[in-house]
């Protein structure tokens, strides 16, 4: 997992490879206040983003999710995502729903070593393939947020 602020990305982006930097280029060059909600292709199906409005849920009401082919970048555009849970990949995390082969996601009831991350508008987090997360959570749930979720094919990160 990588966490940071969009406003400070220019100082840290040299630490990352070409794949993440292509995504960061998109994030830095887009005026999201003017951007319409929906999907934007950056490199076709290998790298794309979706801007959307979401309702948060409590952390207890969300299942853990993980991806095998794609890394995720979650950039909070509006609101506060008080809790965005994270857990490292572990053989002890067993999916209750496995759609990795057809839709690149699996859901988990429990995850070993989970922790919480707080995002404010302008902050982002990168989840690499295999890392579990519970996006769009807040303490009380039912808070509206606007966010960009980017999908990056793992092959672009090698």
Strands lying side by side in the sheet with 144-153: 2-5, 123-127, 70-78, 144-153, 47-55, 38-43
Tell me what pLDDT residue 151 has: 98
Buried b (16+ CB within 10 A) or exposed e, 91-127: eebebeeeeeeeebbbebeebeebeebebebebbbbb
For 70-125, write each residue's pLDDT tens digit. Answer: 999 999 999 988 777 899 999 999 999 999 999 999 999 999 999 999 999 999 99
**β pairing state of 106-108 and 64-66:** antiparallel
What pTM value is reported for the model? 0.94
**Spatial CA neighbour of 114 closest among 151, 95, 149, 86:** 86
The position carrying tokens 């990352």 is 16
Other Cβ atoms less than 10 A from the Cβ of 34: the count is 6
Q: What average pLDDT score do residues 121-150 get?
A: 94
Which contacts qualify for 27-36: CB closer than 8 Å, 24 or more apart? 27/73, 27/75, 27/124, 27/148, 27/150, 32/75, 32/77, 32/148
Q: What average pLDDT score do residues 127-150 get?
A: 94
How many Cα atoms occupy the beta-carbon half-sphere of 98 within 13 Å?
6
For 8-17, write each residue's pLDDT tens digit. Answer: 999 999 999 9
Q: What average pLDDT score do residues 15-27 get?
A: 96
Tell whether the model's pLDDT for residue 21 goes beyond 90: yes
Tell me what pLDDT residue 84 has: 76
Tell me what pLDDT residue 82 has: 74
Other Cβ atoms less than 10 A from the Cβ of 155: the count is 10
For 31-79, write each residue's pLDDT tens digit. Answer: 999 999 999 999 999 999 999 999 999 999 999 999 999 999 999 999 9
Tell me what pLDDT residue 105 has: 97
């Amino acid at each position: 997992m990588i966490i940071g602020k969009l406003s400070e990305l220019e100082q840290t982006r040299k630490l990352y490879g070409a794949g993440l930097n292509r995504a960061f280029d998109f994030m830095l060059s887009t005026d999201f206040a003017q951007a319409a909600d929906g999907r934007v292709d950056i490199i076709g199906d290998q790298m794309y983003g979706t801007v959307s409005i979401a309702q948060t849920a409590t952390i207890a009401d969300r299942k853990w999710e993980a991806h095998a082919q794609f890394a995720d970048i979650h950039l909070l555009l509006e609101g506060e995502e008080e809790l965005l849970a994270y857990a490292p990949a572990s053989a002890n995390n067993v999916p209750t729903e496995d759609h990795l082969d057809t839709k690149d996601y699996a859901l988990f009831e429990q995850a070993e070593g989970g922790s919480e991350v707080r995002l404010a508008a302008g902050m982002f987090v990168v989840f690499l393939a295999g890392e579990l997360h519970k996006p769009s959570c807040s303490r009380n749930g039912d808070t509206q947020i606007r966010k960009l979720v980017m999908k990056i094919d793992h092959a672009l990160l090698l």
